[in-house]
Structure 1
Amino acid sequence: MQPDIAALVRPDGLLSLRVMPKASADRIVAEPDAEGGPRARVYVTVAPEDGKANRAVIALVAKALDVAKSRVILVRGETSRDKLVRIDG
């Protein structure tokens, strides 16, 4: 079961993430970012190749927020560990 990360979603629907690919298990942990704001650290087991890690992150965030994967949109950070996603709706 994933933690409730809804509290980390900003009022504008944005969620800051730090992704750790090739982890031993898929999970999400809340932590402060460099500026002290809220951020979720997302661990996924897949390697960051051909967008596999991004798809796994979107699926994991969608499951944790109990929304459809199509509502989680990658705004920034396609090739970076630091990502910004928008939760539509």
Structure 2
Amino acid sequence: MIAIRLTPGASRDEIGGGWTDAQGARWIGARVRAVPEKGRANAALIGMLAKRLDWPASAILLESGDTNRLKKLRIIGGGGDCPRLNAIIETWVDRT
């Protein structure tokens, strides 16, 4: 499960950095150019994740946060690729 804090309507698509909520949960920061209408920002986020992870977009599911900026996504499959995916995701968290 990946926890992401999404900012739609940004000047560019990017992912990286962290944010901690009031309960102490860590979220990865992400920005997309798409507007938050009719699921466009969610689709842009999934597309960006698929490209950056080199993973099929159909295997990245939005678990929660459809209309909220705090989103939880699940990556289906992985198996032997889990260490590779985790390493990529860790680089996003380390960015400030």
TM-score of the superposed pair, with normalisation by structure 2 = 0.73
What is the match of residue 31 of structure 1? Answer: 18
Structure 2 residue aligned with 1:83, among 71, 79, 86? 71
Separation of aligned partners in 1, 2:57 and 2:28? 17
Runs of 4+, deviation exceeding 3 Å: none
Structure 1 residue aligned with 2:3, among 13, 16, 20? 16
Question: For each residue in 1:36-60, what CA deviation from the matched residue of structure 2 results, as whole angstroms up to 9, or x when unmatched?
Answer: 53x2211000110011001000001
Which sections of structure 1, spanning at least 5 residues, go unmatched? 1-13
Q: Which has the higher helix share?
A: 2
Q: Which residue type is aligned with residue 15 of structure 1?
A: I
Q: Which residue type is aligned with residue 17 of structure 2?
A: A
Q: Could you tell me the percent identity over the aligned residues?
A: 36
TM-score of the superposed pair, with normalisation by structure 1 = 0.79
